[in-house]
Structures are given as structure tokens and as C-alpha cells.
Amino acid sequence: MKIEGNIATGYGKGAYFLGQEFYKNKFNEKCGFIPFPGTLNIIVPEEKLEYIKKLKNSSKNTIKSDEGFGGVKYIKAILENSITGAIVFPDKTTHEENYLEFIAEDNLRKKLNLKDGDKVKIQITDF
């Protein structure tokens, strides 16, 4: 399944959490990469919200809360047919449900020269 959406600026909270050793170690163990400290925020169209809810609710990929850190569900995905990463669904989030948070080992805004409003495609790989 492919999802298209537009890049948006987030709140900066992903940078803090992904910079913590707990999450670095867990994502490296489960996804095979240490994530760049920050998420790429992608706003998806309203008509994709049901599908995204199903993805989130049926995902068995989890990082359980521990050491004072909240749990995270994740789904492996590929951005723009070339960047391996994951869509993350933190237990605690301040984003609306039409925001997807994508993580990868690189700073994706810089690597792909992305700015707010740019359209991107995500291919779900493990659903």
C-alpha cells in the first residue's frame, strides 16, 4: 500500500525522544538502524485516516514502555522508493491523527531537500 502526503513542521518533540539511548537502542534492535533524532511529519488526506487507524491498531511491532519512556508502535516503510525507515505511533502524541511520523537514520529534510508542503510517497512494507 502506498500513502501520499505533504511535509509539515512538527513540534520538535521527536528529536528529544529519538535522541534518548533507550529509543536509539530499541529501534536499532528492531528496525536495523539508529534513527536520526527527529521525525519527518507527513500530513495525509482525510480519506486515508481509516486505513491508518487499521495500520496502527493491528501493528504487532511495538517498543514497550520502560525506564520512564512511553511505548511506540511502528510499521516498517520506504519513503520515496529509496529511504528505509518506519512510521511510528507513539502512545503519547500531540499530533492530530492525520499526521504520520516517519523515522530513518538520516535527516530526511536535508537528504531529500524537502520543505513544508512538498508531496512524498510512503510504501508500507510489513503490514
CATH number for 76: 2.40.30.30
Q: What is the pLDDT of residue 93?
A: 62
109 is in an annotated binding site: yes
Amino acid of residue 107: N
| pLDDT value for 53 | 86
107 among annotated binding-site residues: yes
Average pLDDT for 55-60 = 86
**Boundaries of domain holding 98:** 2-124
Taking residues 112-124, report their average pLDDT.
Answer: 96
Work out how many domains the chain is built from and give that number.
Answer: 1
Instruction: Name which residue leads in pLDDT, 116 or 67.
Output: 116
Helix residue ranges, H only, the chain: 13-18, 21-31, 49-58, 108-111
CB-CB contact of 8 with 98 (8 Å): no
- The reply to whether 10 sits in an annotated binding site is yes
What would the pLDDT profile of 61-104 be if each residue is shown by its tens digit?
A: 988 878 777 889 999 999 999 999 999 998 766 556 788 999 99
- In this prediction, residue 95 carries a pLDDT of 52
125 is annotated as contributing to ligand binding:
no
Q: What is the pLDDT of residue 13?
A: 74
Distance CA 86, CA 73 (A): 10
Q: Confirm or deny that 41 is annotated as ligand binding.
A: yes
Q: Is 94 annotated as a binding residue?
A: no
